[in-house]
Amino acid sequence: MKKLKEYLKKQEEKMQNIEYVKKLYKRSQLEVLAVFMLFAAVFYFNYNYITFKIKLASEFLYTQSLDRLANEHLDKDFSWRDMDALTIAVYGEKLHEDDKYFQLFKRGEFKGQLKEMEHIGSSTKVEKTDSGKGLITFTLFSPRALKNVKNDIDTLKNCDTIIIDLRDNTGGMVSTAEKFASLFLNKGDTIYSFAEKNKFKTIKNKKDPLLTPSKIIILQNEWTASASELFIMALKENLDNVTVIGTKSYGKGVGQNEYFLADGYGFKFTAMKLVTPLGSDINGKGITPDIEYNGGDILAFADRSE
């Protein structure tokens, strides 16, 4: 009787194992089917482009036309591997009519641009003027530039007046402008808002200010743009001690997203509309300075101001 029970138990375990294997097999079949259907769907919805790409690359007789396009947009002869980048470039010409900031980065240009931004930002410096005012020459909004300021922030802490020179600063990273503004703004102040295709968001300062001078003077010119303008309006619309000197700024109140493609290519396009803390739209309008100045040494002029 004992042996019979053991035998029946083993048979039951075998049956359970068989059922487990069957379930595992069915699950594997479903997973394979799901992957197959996913690939089938991708192929189905991209059939026209895939066919166009393969057929054009392999059968098109007038290859000189393709070489001409590739040379215009990619600085090289046509290769089917470059079809995606070439397609974006050709579309980009049309998109550029509405989005003047649309850009296709050719092979290696994207990384090169990031390096150039860091190079320009690295010349950001902190010093004191002849009259003892703090002076921040902020050349481009990059992490390196902000680091340079923070490294010398003790130089600024006892300055009653701080001059921020943003002339020829064409912008850079909005996130850096946000962090730079937080050095001066009070906790809870609105730095800026932005509207994307499907959402609207307001960015507020989360920290207490590290710098609280009695007066802030900002220098700008016609090439002061984008993140620079965002920074200026963040301070101007939150603080009552900000004076802007110079000429009217560029007027870029939109932001771009940048993405890498295969083989070192990349592209960027306008993805957001930037709004000042009080809801102003500066795009295409620029910022009018409090004191118009396009004379000689604007730094000396600012240094003499009280």
Identify the active-site residue in 142, 182, 226, 249: 226
**Count of other CB atoms within 10 angstroms of residue 180:** 26
How far lies 47's CA from each of 40, 42, 163, 165, 252, in Å?
A: 10, 8, 59, 54, 39
Q: What is the token pair recorded at 211?
A: 């710098």
Identify the active-site residue in 133, 236, 252, 268: 252
**Cα torsion for 139, 142, 144, 146, to the nearest 10°?**
80
d(CA 60, CA 55): 7
d(CA 136, CA 158): 14
**Cα torsion for 64, 66, 70, 73, to the nearest 10°?**
110
Q: Which residues pair with 105 in a beta bridge?
A: 266
**166 phi and psi angles, rounded to 5 deg:** -115, 20
Q: Which residues pair with 256 in a beta bridge?
A: 270
Active site residue 305: no
Do residues 148 and 119 touch, judged by C-beta distance below 8 A? no
Give the orientation angle of helix 47-59 with respect to helix 83-95, to 10 degrees: 110
Active site residue 175: no
Residues annotated as part of the active site: 226, 252
